[in-house]
Amino acid sequence: NAGVTQTPKFRVLKTGQSMTLLCAQDMNHEYMYWYRQDPGMGLRLIHYSVGEGTTAKGEVPDGYNVSRLKKQNFLLGLESAAPSQTSVYFCASSYVRQGYGYTFGSGTRLTVV
Amino acid sequence: QQQVKQSPQSLIVQKGGISIINCAYENTAFDYFPWYQQFPGKGPALLIAIRPDVSEKKEGRFTISFNKSAKQFSLHIMDSQPGDSATYFCAASKGDMRFGAGTRLTVKP
């Protein structure tokens, strides 16, 4: 099925460990986004990309890095995980950036202990 | 500081009733206002959206009402069904999409 695929679906990390979350889309969308979802906070934008090889900071970028080496993939990295990064992470993509709905993946639930 | 404020946090409605969720925004540059529906364990999915040049948009049982002067918009779910039980997010966009905190809707049979 066409859409946005996130891996892994669940992960438990120890404080200080690193990991990479992978997002893949097969809709040929130019724009991709990483959000985190926390109770009572809605979805907050971490980083986004307007095309292959480009990335930009969102609302809450500290502690995260991203890369978009291929148009279909957008990677989110945590270099040194902290308990404050415990969250559900969603990747999304869109055909255009403005005035258009996003297609979301099913999320990655990350717990940092 | 949240740019899109959503209320209520949770809502319980009887089957067949009307569910109403409200949102207010601050940035007058926003020009696209979608609503997303999220079921447990799933990502948000686009439900319905409106642009500020219209005051209302209806799709089936779902209606967005938009008040540009008050900087408010709302989602109305008519004839609410147990299958509508989900978390609903409003959002506003001018480039970046900013989301409200979400409303957990429960429709009781």
Residue B1 has pLDDT above 70, yes or no: no
Tell me how far apart the alpha carbons of residues B24 and B37 are, in angstroms, rounded to a whole number: 18
pLDDT of B95 above 90: no
A1 pLDDT above the threshold of 70? no
- Over residues A16-45, the pLDDT tens digits come to 999 999 999 999 999 999 999 998 889 999
- Report the chain A residue with the minimal C-alpha distance to residue B6: A42
Q: Given a cut of 70, is residue A99 above it in pLDDT?
A: no
Question: Does residue B96 carry a pLDDT above 90?
Answer: no
Cβ–Cβ gap B46/A40 under 8 Å: no
Q: Are B108 and B82 in contact (CB under 8 A)?
A: yes
How are beta strands B96-99 and B86-94 bridged, if at all?
antiparallel
Q: Is B19 in contact with B77 (CB distance < 8 Å)?
A: yes
Q: Under an 8 A CB cutoff, do B89 and A43 touch?
A: yes
Q: Identify whether the C-beta of residue B64 lies closer than 8 Å to the C-beta of residue B48.
A: yes
Q: At a CB cut-off of 8 Å and minimum separation 6, what does B81 contact? A: B15, B107
CB B29 within 8 A of CB B94: yes
The pLDDT of residue B79: 98
Taking only the tens place, the pLDDT of each residue in B63-87 is 999 999 999 999 999 999 999 999 9
B46 contact residues in A (CB cutoff 8 A): 101-103
C-alpha to C-alpha distance for B39 and B30, rounded to whole angstroms = 26
Q: Does B101 contact A at CB distance below 8 Å?
A: yes
Residue B6 pLDDT > 70, yes or no?
Answer: yes
Q: Give pLDDT tens digits for B11-58.
A: 999 999 999 999 999 999 999 999 999 999 999 999 999 999 999 999
Of A44, A48, A99, the CB nearest to B93: A99
User: What was the pLDDT predicted at A90?
Assistant: 97
d(CA B63, CA B57): 6
DSSP class per residue in B36-69:
EEE-TTS--EEEEEE-TT-SEEEETTEEEEEETT
How does strand A42-49 pair with strand A56-57? antiparallel
pLDDT of B34 reads 95
Measured CA to CA, the distance from residue A10 to residue A110 in angstroms comes to 6
pLDDT of residue B99: 93
The Cα–Cα gap between B101 and B109 comes to 26
Contact status, residue B91 vs residue B97, Cβ threshold 8 Å:
yes
Furthest CA-CA distance within chain A: 39
Helices and strands (H, E) in chain B, number of each type? 0, 11
A107 touches chain B (CB under 8 A): yes
CB contacts < 8 A (A, B): 57
pLDDT in tens, A36-89: 999 888 999 999 999 999 999 999 999 999 999 999 999 999 999 999 999 999
The model's confidence at residue B3, banded by pLDDT at 50, 70 and 90, is confident
B103-108 vs B10-14, strand pairing mode = parallel
Contacts of A97 in chain B (CB under 8 A): 95
